[in-house]
């Protein structure tokens, strides 16, 4: 079986209670969290792998969304 690599944009937000919440907009419902940024990244990677494993024929939602830092 051939293995494919995918690249998605993950959005990280600091959680009010501490740690980070993270989600992938192009994979609806693919969310996770972690006490540290590194843990949140590891957790969302695992969540995305499971998401794609469970729904292999799902059409990934294409989006024109992008991230851009805004300084205020």
Nearest partner of 6 among 57, 55, 59, 48, judged by Cα: 48
pLDDT of residue 28: 87
Please tell me the predicted confidence (pLDDT) of residue 42: 95
What is the band of 41 on the pLDDT scale with cuts at 50, 70, 90?
very high
Q: Which residues contact 22 (CB under 8 A, 6 or more apart)?
A: 10, 11, 12, 13, 31, 32, 33, 34, 40, 41, 43, 44
Amino acid 13: pLDDT: 93
**Domain parsing of the chain, residue ranges:** 11-54
Question: According to the model, what pLDDT value does residue 72 have?
Answer: 67
Q: What average pLDDT does the segment 26-51 reach?
A: 93
* Average pLDDT in the chain: 82
- 43: part of which helix (H) or strand (E)? helix 37-54
Single pTM value for the model? 0.73
């Amino acid at each position: 079986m051939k293995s494919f690599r995918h690249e998605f944009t993950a959005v990280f937000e600091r959680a009010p209670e501490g740690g980070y919440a993270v989600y992938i907009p192009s994979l609806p419902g693919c969310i996770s969290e972690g006490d540290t940024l590194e843990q949140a990244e590891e957790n969302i990677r695992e969540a995305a792998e499971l998401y794609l494993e469970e729904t292999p024929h799902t059409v990934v939602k294409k989006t024109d969304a992008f991230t851009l830092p805004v300084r205020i």
